[in-house]
C-alpha cells in the first residue's frame, strides 16, 4: 500500500517572480521547497489525464514531478494560491 507523506507544515505560497537565471521563466508560477525553486509547469496532472489512466491517486494529490522518474514530489494545490508537498512512501517504510 502507498501513502503520501506531507513534507511541509503550512501551505507554501505560489510566487510569480523574476527568474534570476533564466528570463524565459520570469513570472512563471513557482514555489520554494527544501532550498529549491519548483515551477508548477514542471508537474504533471494526476487526475483526468489519459497518461495516468489506471493509476490511483488520492483526490488531494493534484500533480507529480515530471522529470524525477524514481522519487518524484507530489503536490496539492490549495486555492490556486499555495501548495502542499508530499513524498510517496510504501506502507513498509
Query: What's residue 8's pLDDT?
Result: 97
Helix/strand/coil (H, E, C) string of 61-77?
CCEEECCCCCCCEEEEE
State the pLDDT at residue 21. Answer: 83
Q: So what's the pLDDT on residue 93? A: 54
Cell reading at 62: 493534484
The answer to whether the CB of 89 falls within 8 A of the CB of 7 is no
Give residue 55's pLDDT: 83
- From 72, 40, 39, select the one nearest 57 (Cα to Cα): 72
How many structural domains does the chain have? 1
What residues of the chain score a pLDDT lower than 70?
Answer: 92-93
Tens-place pLDDT, residues 13-30: 999 998 888 888 889 999
Whole-number pLDDT of residue 92 = 67
Which residue range forms the structural domain that includes residue 57? 2-90
Look up the pTM and report it.
0.88
Amino acid at each position: 500500500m502507498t501513502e503520501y507523506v506531507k513534507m511541509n507544515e503550512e501551505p507554501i505560497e505560489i510566487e510569480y517572480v523574476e527568474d534570476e537565471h533564466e528570463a524565459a521563466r520570469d513570472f512563471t508560477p513557482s514555489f520554494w521547497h527544501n532550498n529549491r525553486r519548483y515551477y508548477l509547469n514542471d508537474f504533471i496532472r494526476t487526475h483526468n489525464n489519459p497518461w495516468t489512466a489506471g493509476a490511483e491517486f488520492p483526490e488531494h494529490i493534484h500533480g507529480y514531478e515530471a522529470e524525477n522518474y524514481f522519487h518524484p514530489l507530489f503536490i496539492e494545490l490549495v486555492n490556486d494560491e499555495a501548495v502542499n508537498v508530499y513524498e510517496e512512501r510504501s506502507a513498509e517504510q
